[in-house]
Amino acid sequence: MDDKLKQMMDDAIWVGKNLFSRGKVSGSAANLSFRYDNKIYITRSGSCFGRLDIDDFSILSLDGTVLNEIKPSKEWPLHLALFQKDQSAEAVIHTHSTYATYWSCQKWDGLSELIPTPTPYLKMKVGEVGFVPYAPPGTQGLFEAFENSLKETNCYLLENHGPILADKTMLDAFYAIEELEEASKNAYLLKTL
What is the Cα 164 distance to its own chain's centre?
Answer: 3
Q: Within 10 A of 130 (CB to CB), how many other CB atoms are there?
A: 19
Q: What is the C-alpha to C-alpha distance for residues 56 and 102, in angstroms, rounded to an integer?
A: 29
Q: Are 126 and 155 in contact (CB under 8 A)?
A: yes
Per the annotation, the verdict on 121 as an active-site residue is yes
What is the Cα 40 distance to its own chain's centre?
Answer: 14
In the sheet that 39-43 helps form, which strands lie side by side, from edge to edge?
57-61, 39-43, 31-36, 91-94, 162-167, 155-158, 130-132
- Of 75, 178, 179, 182, which is the active-site residue? 75
Q: What is the C-alpha to C-alpha distance for residues 177 and 183, in angstroms, rounded to an integer?
A: 10
Per DSSP, the three-state class of 156 is: strand
Per the annotation, the verdict on 75 as an active-site residue is yes
Q: Are 58 and 101 in contact (CB under 8 A)?
A: no
- Of 41, 102, 121, 144, which is the active-site residue? 121
Q: Are 125 and 173 in contact (CB under 8 A)?
A: no
Per DSSP, the three-state class of 155 is: strand
**Residues annotated as catalytic (active site), given as ranges:** 75, 121
